[in-house]
Amino acid sequence: MVKRILHLMFFFAPAAFIADRMGADPGLVFLLAALGLIPLADLIGEATEHLAEHTGPRIGGLLNATLGNAAELIITIFAINAGLLELVKASITGSILGNLLLILGLSIFMGGLKNGIQTFDRRTVSLNATLVLLAIIALAIPSLFDSAFVEAIGRDTNGDTAALVMADRNEGEEPSVTEEAETDAETEVVVPEASEAAVPLDSEGASSTAELRFSESVAVVMIVLYALSIWYSLRSGGGPHNHGSPVEGAWSVRRSVILLLAATAGTAFMSEVLVGAVEHVTESLGLTEFFLGIIIIPLVGNVAEHLVAVETAYKNKMELSLAVSFGSSLQIALFVAPVLVFIALLFGERLLLVFTTFELIALFGAGLVAAFIALDGESNWLEGAMLLAIYLIVGLAFFFLPAVA
């Protein structure tokens, strides 16, 4: 039933193309492109699974680990090319939150309603949950570095300013009223310069070389950690990347490759159309670029995989559903996010892994709640409802959050 609906949604891709070429309302173009991306993303995943059937478990697991979020990666690449860095960073946060709260919550809720209390292997799930929490910590460290770096610059600049003022005052015995006024005036001129130096470093024109290098270094470490997690999962069979199931009626290698390339090309084109309408949508609908990135883009890029997670939980395969949710979160945090840092450099942009305090709190909260629910080895529909409630509250907060200057 789900596949039939997704196949019917292919109609939206040519409709988006026609609407874009005819100069239709940008809101309509954005909607059609978003709907057209959903079946294309599903086709990428399906072709990857069929191709993996011909490559063996290790290569197949590697394909799933690298192409699992290909659609969202393509969308964010076009967003980087358009200079929409706020949308890109928000989509990273939104994807992790969506997997840990929305999809995991919906899976547990639907599975619990149909099957009652569901059980799963605590050892495997605890490993996945721990990796996700470590990935969130890795994402948070550049933001902490940003705050410390800004504070250090402000402190050093203010200290130099104070030293200069004291030196000027020590040159004379009793400065006159005029001299005091001149000194105050000089201080008023210098201090604003110090405050300008302490502008958040990810704002335009203020990114420091040290911060960029630190983000690049962290990105390398995260990719290495992701590679190690893949290696472990392929060796042991219990990691977050082994969540595939046997495919019935596997396609031939030729058909899988052709459809994979076609779906990738279609996703790239739809992504260009979607990103091109973002600015008009934010202006006409009053939505912020941040909200589109944190809620809409992750849903568009991952909805097909999300449906798979919910469907498997409904069929009482809760362990597989949890592996999909945790594995996708891990891939976004440890692979997609750091790769985007280097892709941004190719477009002459500086994508720093610096997130707002609210985003970090939401990520840590989602990771902890998901871990606590999963670590006892069983789940029920009420736990799923709690995760959904948290996602709704967080989503409302992001909706009412004003645009970042």
> Against a cut of 0.85, is the pTM above it?
no
CATH number of this structure's domain 2-400: 1.20.1420.30
Mean per-residue pLDDT, 92-113: 92
203-234 residues labelled b (16+ CB within 10 A) or e (exposed): eeeebbeebbebbbebbeebbebbeebbebbb
Mean per-residue pLDDT, 320-339: 88
Mean per-residue pLDDT, 15-27: 88
Please tell me the predicted confidence (pLDDT) of residue 26: 85
Residues with Cβ within 8 Å of residue 33, at least 6 apart in sequence: 12, 16, 20, 270, 271, 273, 274, 277
CB contact at 8 A, 92 and 361: no
Length reported for the chain: 405
* Cα 338 from Cα 323, distance rounded (Å): 22
CA proximity to 300, closest of 76, 88, 84, 72: 72
CA dihedral 283, 266, 222, 393 (to 10 degrees): 40
Helix segments in 171-287, DSSP class H: 177-197, 209-236, 253-276, 278-285
Mean per-residue pLDDT, 156-163: 48
Please tell me the predicted confidence (pLDDT) of residue 386: 92
User: Tell me, what amino acid is at 262?
Assistant: A
Mean per-residue pLDDT, 317-332: 86
* Cα 33 from Cα 271, distance rounded (Å): 7
CB contact at 8 A, 298 and 94: yes
Q: Which has the higher per-residue pLDDT, 28 or 206?
A: 28
Please tell me the predicted confidence (pLDDT) of residue 162: 40
Helical axes 297-314 vs 70-81, angle rounded to 10° = 170
CB contact at 8 A, 320 and 104: no
Please tell me the predicted confidence (pLDDT) of residue 404: 52
Confidence tier at 206 by pLDDT (50, 70, 90): very low
